[in-house]
Amino acid sequence: MEAHLQNIFTKDHWKALGHDFWHAIHTTKFWRELAWMTVGMLCGAAAVYYFLMPSHIIVGSISGLSLVLNTVMGGNADTLSLWIMGINAFLLLLAFLLIGNEFGAKTVYTALILGPLVQVWDRVYPYTHFTHRVIYDQDILIQLSQGKTVLDAHGNPYLLSRYGEVLEQVKESVMSSGLGLGDVWFDLVCFVLLLSACQAFLFRINASTGGLDIVAKIINKYLHFDIGTSVAIGGAIICCTAFMINDFRMVVIGLIGTLINGVVVDYFTVSLANKKRVCIISPEWERIRKYIIEHEKRGCSLYEVVGGYTNAKQVEIQSLLTKEEYANLMKYIRDNKIDAFITAGNCSEIFGTWLIHKPRYEDFIDDLLQRRELFEQRRQDYLEKRQQYWDNKKHKK
């Protein structure tokens, strides 16, 4: 760890990081993923703002911890975004010092924009549109304008909207049917589904929401728990902070929500990452092989197999395809009436050189090499001009 900290403060370390970043921002892949990360985090911020904040459900996340601290301090949506941004910034600093460069620019970006995006939803379409109604009472308006707290018949405070309107609470949360008829389970389910889909999508493009992921990795590195247990420990600790603002029932609901969130994230992640492992035995295996390689741009393996019943030797093709590519292959076989015996199964993890978009990857590598050559050429020209300048100066002396 000491060696890592010493390396952080060296000039070469920051020079290498700057060099990598400079090349990254000159690729379309960087800007495309930046746009997708923004959209994904916009959905995550909506889940926090519309389903966590009104119902005060605290799940094991940095957003939940921020909501606890914000409620204890008597804050609003603006201060909640500051809590989220501040805690994430602190955790990113810890990750930088204690873990290293495992969390790159993607995690920094997604973690720091969550708070501002919560504020964006509050500006664009406040959740009070679902939970409050506008009333016209001049006396209450005057008292609220003076900073006083006025309670309604149910003991809930009247709110003053950004446009100077008096708001009376008519629903406990976005998904409830009225005061006293709210069911936090609906809010929990909506939050988990929306946030889990967001997390799974970010994992798909090799990004994360930061926050609890950073806590889990720190626990994993220094206490040697596996990553799943680390997430559970971090989430459980955060859920327990909800005792400061919620009763026992709500804390238990938060713990259950944390568990469900992990299960749903795994489901979405596996569903998005699933590939088809296809095994084909056919007399026309050569046609199928050419189609896979030339049209789908995929590799395949050929095996000589012997039929146990007929004792006939045949060739089996095995290939890993996406769901779309598998559908195209099946259509090709049906349209051309190729006699084939096919089995297919799901494969959730692939290691090695299998690529999602091989042609696009090759174009990216070629573009990167060309830019590097251009950079080296400009650097060489600069060094030659500088040397020529100093030679001329010496010659004049």
Regions in the chain scoring below 70 on pLDDT: 1-26, 56-61, 77, 95-105, 177-183, 206, 208, 210-211, 213, 216-217, 220, 225-232, 266, 269-270, 272-273, 348-349, 351-369, 396-397
Give CA angle at 271 (268, 275), nearest 5°: 155
Place of tokens 């909501």: 67
On the CB side of 83, CA atoms within 13 Å amount to: 20
Structural domains of the chain, with CATH: 2-127+197-272 (no CATH), 274-347 (3.30.70.120)
Res 99: pLDDT: 62
Res 291: pLDDT: 93
**pLDDT tens string 320-367:** 998 889 999 999 999 999 999 999 988 866 766 565 555 554 555 566
Q: Measure Cα distances from 253 to 57, 58, 176, 240, 330 in Å.
A: 8, 8, 16, 11, 46
H helical segments located in 48-137: 62-72, 77-98, 105-124, 128-131
- Indicate the Cα dihedral angle 388, 391, 393, 397, nearest 10°: -160
Structure tokens at 280: 């084909």
- Indicate the Cα dihedral angle 97, 38, 256, 155, nearest 10°: 110
**pLDDT tens string 261-287:** 777 776 776 676 678 899 999 999 999
pTM score, two decimals? 0.61
Res 174: pLDDT: 80
Q: How far apart are CA 59 and CA 258, in angstroms?
A: 5
